[in-house]
Amino acid sequence: MIEKAAFGRTGHQSSRVIFGAAALGGMRQERADALMETVVEFGINHLDTAASYGESELRLAPFLKSHRREVFLATKTGDRTGAGARASLERSLERMGVDQVDLIQLHNLVEDDEWEAAHGPGGAVEALVKARDEGLVRFIGVTGHGTRIPRMHIRSLERFHVDSVLFPFNHTMLRSDAYRADVEELLGLCESRGVAAQTIKAVAKRRWTDNSTPHYSWYEALPPGDALGRAVSYVLGRPQLFLNSSSDGRLLRPILEAAARREGVPTDAAMEADCVAHGAEPLFDGEALERI
């Protein structure tokens, strides 16, 4: 079983591995149902999806019909206007067959103009606060990719009472002193304010260089084995952090097995050795590779 911890100030004890339901986006229902059995097997009680994750919300609906009260349910909206965010939320509720989500997140809020629109009059934040007051959602968070997102999350925390943040965290990205400094500043702020800190891309190796095989994630992941296990422990060794599982559903069990058996926190030297051995590279560089 996966250990649980307080998910910020929400009052929920969430499994420290959160099921990244993007993995369900392109699956048939039968395959999705089987993957959810693995989620139950390891005691995962926190699910993270998004309106933009293909058929993910629809694939979750059968599971939620009988397990809704057992899980913390999060989704995301990429809309920045109030009307768009409200419509996105209502569609997500309908697709999943639920009356309320626990967490709605502003998805990849990193560009200045989008940030201003979302936080401005008639923007997404205003509409989601209203939806929270109406009981359609309990908490509001913000997510993002790339090297700029920790700094943008700090900006969001200064503007609004955000309940959770989500950002990339792995050794290749933390090689950057600037990125590491931003992450540490963000985590300090989250700790002082009771904001939950979620991570993504824990087991990412690099962007794809081989297009001859099917891809189940937009990035190439570490293969199951010791290096993947250390990558999982690198995140979970920080008690403050939650790890969102990969959008490649084949990696769910290896990630959960690594999380269940983890021993100690790997050193940066050990992580660097794994990066060299597997040819790992940062997914983002602040410039050409910043956008997915």
| Cα distances (angstroms) measured from residue 43 to each of 3, 4, 14, 19, 70 | 9, 9, 10, 11, 10
Closest CA to 39 of 17, 66, 14: 17
Instruction: Give the pLDDT band of residue 264 (cuts 50, 70, 90).
Output: confident
Residue 183, Cα to own-chain centre: how many angstroms? Answer: 15
φ, ψ of residue 271 to 5 degrees: the values are -65, -40
Instruction: Give the pLDDT band of residue 263 (cuts 50, 70, 90).
Output: confident
For 15, half-sphere exposure in the C-beta direction (CA atoms, 13 angstrom radius) is 25
Q: Quick check: 291 pLDDT over 90?
A: no
Q: What is the pLDDT of residues 136-182, one digit of tens each?
A: 999 999 999 999 999 999 999 999 999 999 999 999 999 999 999 99
For 249, half-sphere exposure in the C-beta direction (CA atoms, 13 angstrom radius) is 18
pTM of the model: 0.94
Architecture of the domain spanning 4-278:
Alpha-Beta Barrel (3.20)
Residue 156, Cα to own-chain centre: how many angstroms? Answer: 17
Q: How far apart are CA 152 and CA 163, in angstroms?
A: 15
Contact 247, 25 (CB under 8 A): yes
Q: Where are the domains of the chain?
A: 4-278
Q: Quick check: 56 pLDDT over 90?
A: yes
Q: What is the pLDDT of residues 176-235, one digit of tens each?
A: 999 999 999 999 999 999 999 999 999 999 988 877 677 778 888 899 999 999 999 999
Q: What is the pLDDT of residues 96-146, one digit of tens each?
A: 999 999 999 999 999 999 999 999 999 999 999 999 999 999 999 999 999
Q: How far apart are CA 281 and CA 270, in angstroms?
A: 16
